[in-house]
Amino acid sequence: MTKPYYITTPLYYVNASPHIGHAYTNILCDTFARFHKLLGEEVFFMTGTDEHGTKIDRAARDQKKEPKAYVDEMMPKFKELWNILGIEYDYFIRTTDVNHKKAVGNILRDLEAKGEIYKASYKGWYCVPCESFWTKLQLVEGKCHDCHREVQELEEENYFFKLSKYQDWLIQYINDNPNFVRPEMRRNEILGFLREPLEDLCITRPRTRLAWGIDYPTSKEHVVYVWFDALINYVSGVGFTIDEKKFKKLWPADVHMVGKDILRHHTVYWPIMLKAMGVEMPKTVLAHGWWTMAGTKVSKSRGNTVDPVELSKKYGVDAFRYFLLREVTLGLDGAFSEDLLAERYTSDLANDLGNLWFRLASMVDKYFEGRIPDVGAGLKPALINEFSNFYEEVTSAMKNYDPRTALNIIWKKITVLNQMIEEKKPWVLAKDPKRKSELAEALCLLAEWLTHVAVLLLPFIPGTAQQILKRLKLKIEWMIKSGEEFSKPFLKPGVSVERGEALFPRLDEKEAAQH
Per-residue model confidence as pLDDT tens digits over 8-53: 999 999 998 898 999 999 999 999 999 999 999 999 999 999 999 9
Would you say residue 278 has pLDDT above 50? Answer: yes
What range defines the domain where residue 452 resides? 338-514
pLDDT one-digit tens code per residue, 390-414: 999 999 999 999 999 999 999 999 9
Which stretch of 137-146, 247-256, 303-312, 350-359 has the lowest confidence by average pLDDT? 303-312
User: Is residue 491, in this structure, part of any structural domain at all?
Assistant: yes
- 394 vs 409: CA distance, rounded Å: 7
Give the model's pLDDT for residue 301: 60
Tally the domains of the chain: 1
User: Is residue 256, in this structure, part of any structural domain at all?
Assistant: no
User: Is residue 424, in this structure, part of any structural domain at all?
Assistant: yes
3-state secondary structure labels for all residues of 411-459: HHHHHHHHHHHHHHCHHHHCCCHHHHHHHHHHHHHHHHHHHHHHHHHCC
Give the model's pLDDT for residue 377: 66
User: Is residue 236, in this structure, part of any structural domain at all?
Assistant: no
DSSP 8-state secondary structure symbol assigned to residue 5 = E
Would you place residue 511 in the very low, low, confident or very high pLDDT band (cuts 50, 70, 90)? low
If one counts every other C-beta atom within 10 angstroms of the C-beta of residue 373, the result is 20
237/511: higher pLDDT: 237
- 161 vs 163: CA distance, rounded Å: 6
Q: Is 68 helix (H, G, I), strand (E, B) or coil?
A: helix
- 327 vs 143: CA distance, rounded Å: 34
3-state secondary structure labels for all residues of 134-203: ECHHHCECCECCCCCCCCEEEEEEEEEECCHHHHHHHHHHHHHCCCCEECHHHHHHHHHHCCCCCCCEEC
Would you say residue 299 has pLDDT above 70? Answer: no
Residues of the chain with pLDDT > 70, as a percent, come to 96
Under 8 Å between Cβ of 467 and 500:
yes
Give the model's pLDDT for residue 374: 87
Give residues with Cβ within 8 angstroms of 428, minimum separation 6. none
CATH value at residue 476: 1.10.730.10
Beta strand 5-8 pairing with 43-50: parallel
User: Is residue 343, in this structure, part of any structural domain at all?
Assistant: yes
Would you say residue 135 has pLDDT above 90? Answer: no
Give the model's pLDDT for residue 515: 47
Query: What average pLDDT does this structure show over 104-115?
Result: 98
403: part of which helix (H) or strand (E)?
helix 403-424
Would you say residue 89 has pLDDT above 50? Answer: yes
User: Is residue 418, in this structure, part of any structural domain at all?
Assistant: yes
- 437 vs 377: CA distance, rounded Å: 12
Give the model's pLDDT for residue 239: 98
Would you say residue 324 has pLDDT above 50? Answer: yes
Would you say residue 311 has pLDDT above 90? Answer: yes
User: Is residue 397, in this structure, part of any structural domain at all?
Assistant: yes
Could you tell me the pTM of the whole model?
0.93
Residues of the chain with pLDDT > 90, as a percent, come to 84
User: Is residue 342, in this structure, part of any structural domain at all?
Assistant: yes
- 376 vs 54: CA distance, rounded Å: 69
